[in-house]
Amino acid sequence: MKQRYDGKSQKRSFPLDSKVLALLPVLGSSLKARFSGPYKVVKQLNNLDYVIETPDRRKKQQVCHVNMLKPFYERDVESKSFNGNANLLTDALSRS
């Protein structure tokens, strides 16, 4: 069982000053926890634990295990513009 898991798992690491999303606890129910952020990686404590900067929370810095983090990818705003979608719609309507 362990060999199957290890075969499919990937080692994750986050460089300093990179942006990550963190699965942080929510008051009331652990089932309501969501990834929030983006937060900045401030320090790597060991191979599995990172200190992230959380300015919008009560604790300004939190230690997070690598399993509770995922990389944050910024969207390319120009490629998702409304004008591009409008052109596709008018092309489709003109063909009909």
Residues in the chain, overall count: 96
Residue 71 · residue 18 · CB < 8 Å: yes
| Helical spans, DSSP H, in the chain | 2-8, 82-95
What is the reported pLDDT for 46?
95
Instruction: List pLDDT tens digits, range 1-55.
Output: 888 888 888 888 999 999 999 998 888 887 888 899 999 999 999 999 999 999 9
Specify the pTM: 0.70
What is the reported pLDDT for 95?
63
What is the reported pLDDT for 22?
95
What's phi and psi for 68, nearest 5 deg?
-95, 5
Residue 47 · residue 24 · CB < 8 Å: no
What's phi and psi for 19, nearest 5 deg?
-95, 135
Least confident of 38-42, 66-70, 86-90: 86-90
